[in-house]
Amino acid sequence: METVLAILTGFMYAAGIYLILRRSLVKLIVGLIILGNGSNLLIFLLGGITRGNPPVIGENESMLTGIYADPLPQALILTAIVISFGLQAFAMVLLQREYVQGGVEDFDSIKEEEEAL
Partner 1 sequence: MTDNLLILPVIIQLVIAVISLFFWSRTNYQRLSSIVGNVIFLAVSFILFFYVKENGIMVSQGGNWPAPFGITFVLDLFSASMLVITGLSGLAVSIFTAGSMSRRRALFVFFPIYHFLLLGISGSFIAGDLFNLYVWFELIIIASFGLITLGGGRRQLEGALKYVTLNLVASTLFLTSIAFVYGLTGSLNLADLAVKIPEVENQDLVSIAALLFFVGLGIKTAVFPMYFWLPASYHTPMSAISAIFGGLLTKVGVYALIRVFSLFFLPDSYIGTVISAIAALTLIMGAMGAFIQKDVRKVFSWLIVCHIGFMIAGLGIFSTVALAGAVLYLFHDIIIKTNIFMVSGLLYRINGAHTFKFIGGLYEHYPKLSFLIAIPLFSLIGIPPLSGFWPKILLIEGGIQGFDYFIVAAILLGSFVTLVTIGKLWVTAVWSEQKQVKYVKHFIHFKQLSKAQRIAYVFPIAFLSVVSLFFGFGAFWMLDIANRIAEELINPELYIQSILQFQ
Binding site for partner 1 (CB under 8 A): 16, 20, 28, 32, 35-36, 38-40, 42-43, 45-48, 70, 72-73, 76, 79-80, 83-84, 86-88, 90-91, 94-95, 97-98, 101-102, 110, 112-113, 115, 117
In degrees and rounded to multiples of 5, residue 53 shows phi and psi of -125, 80
- Show the 3-state SS of 56-77: CCCCCCCCCCCCCCCCHHHHHH
Question: How far apart are CB 61 and partner 1 at their closest, in Å?
Answer: 19
Residue among 56 and 96 whose Cβ is closer to partner 1: 96
Helix (H) or strand (E) holding 15: helix 2-21
Question: How far apart are CB 37 and partner 1 at their closest, in Å?
Answer: 10
Question: How far apart are CB 66 and partner 1 at their closest, in Å?
Answer: 17
32 close to 91: Cβ distance less than 8 angstroms: yes
